[in-house]
Chain A
Amino acid sequence: KQEVTQIPAALSVPEGENLVLNCSFTDSAIYNLQWFRQDPGKGLTSLLLIQSSQREQTSGRLNASLDKSSGRSTLYIAASQPGDSATYLCAVIPFAGGTSYGKLTFGQGTILTVHP
């Protein structure tokens, strides 16, 4: 059974710092990996999607890498801002003989606080 772990569980940094959030998964047979952001009381917003054949994706100040063989992904946030404060969730779509149907397996999330 695929398990996804995120470290750290919580992170507090001053504004302007560069930071890294970590995600690991136990089964390297995945279709893709997604990073989401969740604001309090809100749904999830997709940040980046990395296909299994890709190594990284970038969007603005965000960069996500994927090392499928070691079962790891990192989300790098450059020049953090207070508006980046949220819970960041990592999720994978396991490969299950071609019938995974796209269902996501999530980590527990990292709660990020960026203070001015």
Chain B
Amino acid sequence: GAGVSQSPSNKVTEKGKDVELRCDPISGHTALYWYRQSLGQGLEFLIYFQGNSAPDKSGLPSDRFSAERTGGSVSTLTIQRTQQEDSAVYLCASSYGPTSGETQYFGPGTRLLVL
């Protein structure tokens, strides 16, 4: 079956612009995660969704970052007024259920470059 998909695969934007990154999880997966991978920081957790609610937003680095999930499926990560330090690969993952024992399946990521 189809895996986790993300779009766009690459995004170049100018400092100060807003960007939206999209994630389509595996069908039937109720848990969805956003992570960020940058050169200096490695892979970091951003936010977790269970269904359409986000019980853990502790990894969002600032209030310029927000995310939503609709229909228990697609999720959008929005970065407002982008800064150069936002340049990174943004990875989305999904898993079958809310327990902590489930394997997470990752998408290919969106490579964001802020000029």
Do A and B pair up? The answer is yes
Binding site for B on A (CB under 8 A): 31-32, 34, 36, 42-46, 49, 51, 89, 91, 93, 95, 99-109
**Are the CB atoms of B48 and A46 closer together than 8 Å?**
no
Q: Which 8 A-B pairs have the closest CB atoms?
A: A106-B43, A31-B100, A44-B106, A43-B106, A43-B108, A102-B100, A103-B45, A101-B48
Q: What chain A residues lie within 8 Å of B100 (beta carbons)?
A: 31-32, 93, 95, 100-102
Prevailing SS type, chain B contact patch: strand
Please provide the chain B residues from 12 to 68 with a CB less than 8 Å away from any CB of chain A in the complex: 31, 33, 35, 42-45, 48, 50, 55-56, 59
Q: What chain B residues lie within 8 Å of A89 (beta carbons)?
A: 43
Asked whether B1 is an interface residue with its Cβ less than 8 Å from the other chain, the reply is no
Asked whether B104 is an interface residue with its Cβ less than 8 Å from the other chain, the reply is yes
B33, B55, B104 — most chain A CB neighbours (10 Å): B104
Binding site for A on B (CB under 8 A): 4, 31, 33, 35, 42-45, 48, 50, 55-56, 59, 91, 93, 95, 98-109
Q: What chain B residues lie within 8 Å of A93 (beta carbons)?
A: 100
Apart from A34-B104, A89-B43, A106-B42, what 10 extra A-B contacts exist at CB < 8 Å?
Answer: A34-B103, A36-B106, A43-B107, A45-B106, A46-B103, A93-B100, A101-B50, A102-B48, A102-B98, A104-B43
Q: What chain A residues lie within 8 Å of B102 (beta carbons)?
A: 102
- How far is it, in angstroms, between the C-alpha of A79 and the C-alpha of B109 when the chains are bound? 31
Q: What chain A residues lie within 8 Å of B93 (beta carbons)?
A: 44
